Structure 1
Amino acid sequence: MTERPTEDGGAQPETDEPSETDRPSVLVPLAVLEGESLPNGTPELLANAHVVLLGYHVIPEQTATEQAREQFGETAMSKLGEFADRLAAAGADVETRLVFTHDEPTTIDRLIYEYDCLAVLVPNSTERVDSVLVSLRGTIGVGRNTRLVAGLFADAGANVTLYHALGEGESPDDGESFLNGVKADLVERGIAPDRIETLVEDADVPFDAIAGQAESHDAVVMGETDPSVTTFVFGMPSKQVAERFLGPVLVVQRERPEE
């Protein structure tokens, strides 16, 4: 495996194998020099994904990225290589990227665009992935959710629960109709209908309801409800769901404007 330099001084491996573009692309950010490692169960969760494994380290403003790379780059790349090998052994297609940055959220946001990632993983450990909760709030971006869910779990045998908290003025029939449409899309994408359940709930606080439902599942898929990845990946609400649920949360990103 060889590496090519990147515009921010990072390194990205090159291989002779073409990228498996039909796999959903998932960004996995890890603070490798702060002791953050690949949680148990992550390789199995992402076995059918194209994983962009991002090792990052936040450095002080007065420290040059080149200086940090010279001092810590070899250690960080060694750790990333170990994690990449675990992911690849489970079946994932893996790219690695190492970044030393002064602005963690902006860097991660930029790399989501650069690699056209469908989702970002808020990594927590899980023993197995037999049951997945898919929280859906509205019709915008639903196709990206179904692409991710079908891509990761159609061949994995996991059961999928489609969950929708009713919005203002929305009836239970409206909610069921919405989820049935999503279910039909997943069936068309290869998930057996008997592995898909739908759940509509009239919840006063949707965040609390999602966190409560998540407790009986092994992983959670949520849509990006705020255009700011700074808020969503590292703040409300996916991070809080992950903290309360203690399992992995896949945050499906909005489709970004061409500009």
Structure 2
Amino acid sequence: MASSILIPFEFPDPEPVSPVLVEDLSSLEIVLLGHYGVPEQTPKESARDEFEDEVIERLEELAEPFIEAGADVRTRLVFGKDRAAAIDRVTIEEECAAELDPAPTEGIDRILVPLPDVAEFDRLPRFVDVLCEDTANTITLFHVVEGEEDHERGEEIVTETREGLLEVGFDPDAVDTRVSDTGSHDDEIIRVASEYDAVVMYEAESRLGDRIFGTLPDRIRNATGDPVIVVRRDY
């Protein structure tokens, strides 16, 4: 579904989503995923039998603020050992167009949008727009030049995406661009993200180090303390 977002909660100690994000995301279709991390030696069925009723009740409590804000909310519950696999599976099954990597926030004024070398577009504007509470928001389209790519191509990517945002109604004064050709790709995005209040980005390609160091969105969230919306690519 084009305007649906998955919001995962990790049990047994889930953290509620900040009221600011609840309000911002309430215009979307919300899928709340409760993932209960089962220890390696514990059968999933045993954990489900012992904790399912308690987790369902808590998941319903986490859904209540979204319902009160007027959102269309669905819930899913998974007992398992692999959180990332559960998120991927439920995202596909529920046809979610994006995932929220949540973090506490009291307000979002500056939004960073890192762009890949091939800047897709169809899904991006919707998930940038939901974070724009008013005309004071600043949106920065950011590209890191890497490999054989040159700075000129980076400028083309951010310029073309900016033009696309303006065509669908974004304020020209609110959308700026930024290109970097220094530092490693991921490190540079994390560094620049620290200057912003939230990040909206396309899903990054899987890398060998993801299971050790975490995915790029996870590392952005952990390093900056800011929420990250990860948009599925427009295939």
TM-score (norm 2): 0.85
For residue 219 of structure 2, what is the aligned residue in structure 1? 240
For residue 37 of structure 1, what is the aligned residue in structure 2? 15
For residue 203 of structure 2, what is the aligned residue in structure 1? 224
Of 196, 209, 220, 2:188 maps to 209
**Partners of 1:229 and 1:112 in 2: CA distance:** 22
Q: Deviations over 1:39-92 (max 9, x none)?
A: 323313423322211011022456454443332122212221121111233343
- Describe the shift of the 1:145–1:166 C-alpha distance in structure 2 as closer, same or farther (beyond 3 A): same
The alignment of Structure 1 onto Structure 2 pairs a total of residues equal to 232
- Describe the shift of the 1:168–1:60 C-alpha distance in structure 2 as closer, same or farther (beyond 3 A): closer
Q: Deviations over 1:152-207 (max 9, x none)?
A: 24665432111111233434332222212111222233322221111111122122
Query: Contact between 1:55 and 1:99, CA under 8 Å: does it hold in 2?
Result: yes
Paired amino acid for 2:104: S
Query: Contact between 1:105 and 1:229, CA under 8 Å: does it hold in 2?
Result: no
Question: CA offset at residue 30 of structure 1?
Answer: 0.7
- Describe the shift of the 1:60–1:201 C-alpha distance in structure 2 as closer, same or farther (beyond 3 A): closer
Paired amino acid for 1:86: P
Paired amino acid for 1:190: G
Question: CA offset at residue 251 of structure 1?
Answer: 1.7
Q: Percent identity?
A: 34
Answering whether residue 33 of structure 2 is matched by residue 58 of structure 1, we say no
For residue 125 of structure 2, what is the aligned residue in structure 1? 146
**Partners of 1:156 and 1:26 in 2: CA distance:** 21
**Partners of 1:130 and 1:91 in 2: CA distance:** 23
- Which stretch of the first structure deviates more once superposed, 87-96 or 59-68? 59-68
For residue 78 of structure 1, what is the aligned residue in structure 2? 57
Q: CA RMSD in A?
A: 2.6
TM-score (norm 1): 0.78
For residue 7 of structure 2, what is the aligned residue in structure 1? 28
For residue 195 of structure 1, what is the aligned residue in structure 2? 174
- Describe the shift of the 1:164–1:89 C-alpha distance in structure 2 as closer, same or farther (beyond 3 A): same
- Describe the shift of the 1:229–1:238 C-alpha distance in structure 2 as closer, same or farther (beyond 3 A): farther
* Unmatched 5+ stretches in structure 1: 1-20
**Partners of 1:130 and 1:155 in 2: CA distance:** 8
* Unmatched 5+ stretches in structure 2: none
